Amino acid sequence: MKVIIHRGTHQIGGCVTEIQSNKGTRIIIDIGENLPAEDGRNLPDIQVEGLNKEGKNVDAVFVTHYHGDHIGMFNKISSEIPIYVGEVSKEIYKILQKRLIKAKKSSKEDLKLIDEFRTYKIPKKETIKDISITPIEVDHSAFNSHMLLIECDGKRLLHTGDFRTHGPRGKSVIPALEKYVGKVDCLICEGTTLSRKGQTLVKETELEEKAQEIFIKNKNTFVMCSSTNIDRIAILHKAALKAGRLFVCDSYQKEMLMYIDSIAKSDLYKFKNKVLSYAENIKEKMEKMGFVMLVRPNSTSKKVMSYFPNHVFVYSQWEGYLDEKHKDQYSYLQEFVPKDYTYLHTSGHANYEAIKKVCETVKPKIVIPIHGENPEAFESMRARKQRNKNTKR
């Protein structure tokens, strides 16, 4: 087994990992788009032979979840290469693309490509020639995120994708690894938060309590969060109903939530008949009962916000986007997010303890850090630095 990290060892996002078997089978894990440079420039794509550069096509691509820094290059690779994603990820990504097409940020051709994605199901093993891939569902700010267990040439490797253990589904991460994975030879592990060692992360459930307090105290609340961060929305929704407020969003967001309602088992994701899609005729009801409404930087949201001048604005995503350094997001957020926003957020990524627990569970001989700016932090976790002679970084 040969491992090549094409991108992602010293940066957050843009991950592309290749696994090759001795017989020459090649699979790629994640085809992440590069995040823009600090000055806002789009960085050139990496060129991988047989993926987006001439050469014999790789045998398959497996995507851990639908975040752009893991799937964004899907329209830049040869259309003959099969792309595998989780079943639910595919549907969420399709709903998102339909909105982007309306906003002229995507095309019908892209939607057609997504339609052709193949899907994998947990914990069913997929086989690509002599490599087998077993998905394990994990907790992350994207619904339906996976770790992938890769087996070939008598070796076992676990790729964590993005994960955490402090979200609503966090408790099942370690038991799933014990049940479906066990010991591995190599662990490719995300390390997004490792530069913040020792910092305890707020649990999503603690956010629910804080949200409820805000919604009780304030009659009208607008919240900005990622439309695909389903766990966050579920928690805001629960808090809003407990506070006796209406829960309002746009028709796109409602379509997404109705889809989740149709496939999820937990009561946390029961949105049916409880979520209102915004229309002028519910204004009066909103005035009477008070509300929590999800908004995004567009003219409709701005208009509704102007109808209710007495409101609080909750910013519920990574605060870094509000930093001038992140020009791509900053340019449109600075006009939309008021200076006196209330911050309500916790990371979608694993903290130090969660990563340590994963290492203790799968007992890898080699650890390769990815998706972080501080890979050296792994050394302090007694991860062995030795490099397998077959392992190339």
- Nearest residue to 363 via CA among 192, 195, 177, 198: 177
Residue with tokens 């619904």: 143
**Adjacent-strand bridge partners of 128:** 131
**Adjacent-strand bridge partners of 147:** 136
What's the min distance (Å) between Cβ of 44 and Zn ion?
Answer: 20
**Residue number with CB closer to Zn ion (67 or 166):** 67
**Residue number with CB closer to Zn ion (19 or 63):** 63
123 upstream amide cis, omega within 30 of 0? yes
What's the min distance (Å) between Cβ of 72 and Zn ion?
Answer: 10
**Residue number with CB closer to Zn ion (140 or 238):** 140
What's the min distance (Å) between Cβ of 96 and Zn ion?
Answer: 14
C-beta separation of 61 from 82 below 8 A: yes
What's the min distance (Å) between Cβ of 13 and Zn ion?
Answer: 5
**Residue number with CB closer to Zn ion (43 or 279):** 43
**Cα–Cα separations (whole angstroms), residue 104 to 107, 111, 131, 133, 263:** 7, 13, 39, 36, 29
Q: Give the residues lining the site for Zn ion (CB under 5 A).
A: 13, 67, 69, 162
What's the min distance (Å) between Cβ of 197 and Zn ion?
Answer: 20
Residue with tokens 């001795």: 22
What's the min distance (Å) between Cβ of 141 and Zn ion?
Answer: 6
- Tokens in use for 286? 């909103």
**Residue number with CB closer to Zn ion (83 or 286):** 83
**Residue number with CB closer to Zn ion (162 or 250):** 162
CB atoms within 10 A of CB 45: 17
**Residue number with CB closer to Zn ion (162 or 204):** 162
What burial class does residue 363 get, using C-beta atoms within 10 Å of its C-beta: 0-12 exposed, 13-18 middle, 19+ buried?
A: exposed
What's the min distance (Å) between Cβ of 142 and Zn ion?
Answer: 5
C-beta separation of 244 from 154 below 8 A: no
**Residue number with CB closer to Zn ion (221 or 228):** 228
**Residue number with CB closer to Zn ion (33 or 151):** 33
CA distance 133 to 30: 13
The answer for 14, left when phi > 0, alpha when psi is -120 to 50, beta otherwise, is left
What's the min distance (Å) between Cβ of 325 and Zn ion?
Answer: 18
- Nearest residue to 346 via CA among 198, 225, 242: 225
**Cα–Cα separations (whole angstroms), residue 139 to 79, 164, 298, 342:** 30, 6, 30, 25
CA distance 190 to 163: 8
What's the min distance (Å) between Cβ of 161 and Zn ion?
Answer: 7
What's the min distance (Å) between Cβ of 66 and Zn ion?
Answer: 8
**Residue number with CB closer to Zn ion (320 or 338):** 320
CA-based radius of gyration for the chain = 21
CA distance 191 to 352: 8
What burial class does residue 175 get, using C-beta atoms within 10 Å of its C-beta: 0-12 exposed, 13-18 middle, 19+ buried?
A: exposed
220-224/342-343 β-pairing: unpaired
